[in-house]
Structure 1
């Protein structure tokens, strides 16, 4: 069984084309800006038969067209890598394009096989500087960068996603350093800059949790464009999502 938090049909922000987005339960990061705090706990969600997800994907296949498919997000999907393997194999049998939105921080044989079955990885790099990444997520970014290197070495296409949080992940020197290391990767199809937002703050209130970035303002258009210019020095295709 797979622990599913929720679904989104006809999603357009999590991979190419129209997509069925499956948000999974459980995450090993504690990002200060997390918009889905209700997906963090490992317990919770709805225990779901993988075949139910296959049926949903097949029923929407006509809408996917040539570019669309299914995206697994969260939470952190690789927390459930072992349970996802049979599902991914079935989706491949049905000819459905698979995206995996991951922070890249978990590594074992199940995760490696899962990535091999994935058509496109959406790799979330929260911050390049190790200390700032630790502050922002309460977790190391070492394995995330190793995962990026593995994707490159194994010719696995991926998109780099970066949430631009004022005062936390908008440092020019960190974006430059990341560009110098990853800009040479041929497998990075695009960079997506995700603006910081407060759309999930009401969830913290409902869960009686304190939102720790309430004093941080959302990005101005100028801040987003400045970051995009920094990324464009190193990457060919950069979008503000």
Structure 2
């Protein structure tokens, strides 16, 4: 199956004798879910990791989510019921529900259904963790049900962006999606992974920072230090971790990157 054209199933079913419409459950491919704090949006979050991603980022710590077959076919009903077990705790902790991956917008129907139900049935704050590469697939209705977008900007320089994404990505779709979010007024947290010798060039960081500052809806920037915690997952899926010899950034390097974002008036952590 072409990973770039897949959408979750949500067809209308046959009408009942009385004329009332029924429909099949909305389904998608889910790799896993977890309860997390501080990394997937504000407060304690119910985070679902959807399977499938069109990119192959060199520093990815979840390569086991790249293909749809890496997930389990799951209905929206199942996932909403699972999240519902924790709603009281999540609300008390000032959290919500986040869709991550993989890339959730590879399954836009499923993603839209989940965001809508998390927000309107469970009353949870909703967040979408995305690269923006497939941002054109997000309907206005999906974004209206999204309280926060965690936008992962891989790099600013076009050639470097393509290199970071394993030769599969372009910066232009992310830029277009970010500008659309600004027009719609969606709150955005920019995420930027700092990799020594790859994404840490001052001009590259400056480009991301200047763009983020120009949008007017970026309330936070997460400078995420590169790590190797997912290296074993690369081996598990039969691949060689391409950044095995790359050092993690020093605290000074992280502080310098954050300083560039702060210099543009952005709150960087």
TM-score bracket relative to the smaller structure: over 0.9
Deviations 1:47-84 (A, max 9, x none): 11101111122221111226301111100000001122
* Partner residue in 2 for 1:151: 181
Distance in 2 (CA, whole Å) between partners of 1:83 and 1:206 is 27
* Partner residue in 2 for 1:6: 32
Q: Does 1:84 align with 2:111?
A: yes
Distance in 1 (CA, whole Å) between partners of 2:112 and 2:53 is 18
Distance in 1 (CA, whole Å) between partners of 2:153 and 2:138 is 21
Deviation (angstroms), 1:111:
4.2
Q: How many residues align?
A: 239
Counterpart contact for 2:60–2:230, Cα < 8 Å: yes
Flag the structure with larger Rg.
Answer: 2
5+ residue gaps, structure 2, are: 1-26
Counterpart contact for 2:29–2:50, Cα < 8 Å: yes
* Partner residue in 2 for 1:231: 261
* Partner residue in 2 for 1:188: 218
Distance in 2 (CA, whole Å) between partners of 1:187 and 1:93 is 23
5+ residue gaps, structure 1, are: none
Counterpart contact for 1:191–1:235, Cα < 8 Å: no
Within 5 Å, which residues of 2 pair with 1:131-146?
131-137=159-165, 138=167, 139-146=169-176
Taking structure 1 as the reference length, the TM-score comes to: 0.94
Aligned counterpart for 1:19 among listed residues 3, 26, 45: 45
Taking structure 2 as the reference length, the TM-score comes to: 0.85
Within 5 Å, which residues of 2 pair with 1:35-74?
35-65=61-91, 67-74=94-101
Counterpart contact for 2:105–2:137, Cα < 8 Å: no
Aligned counterpart for 1:114 among listed residues 142, 159, 164: 142
SS at match of 1:127: coil
RMSD: 1.4
Deviation (angstroms), 1:214:
1.0
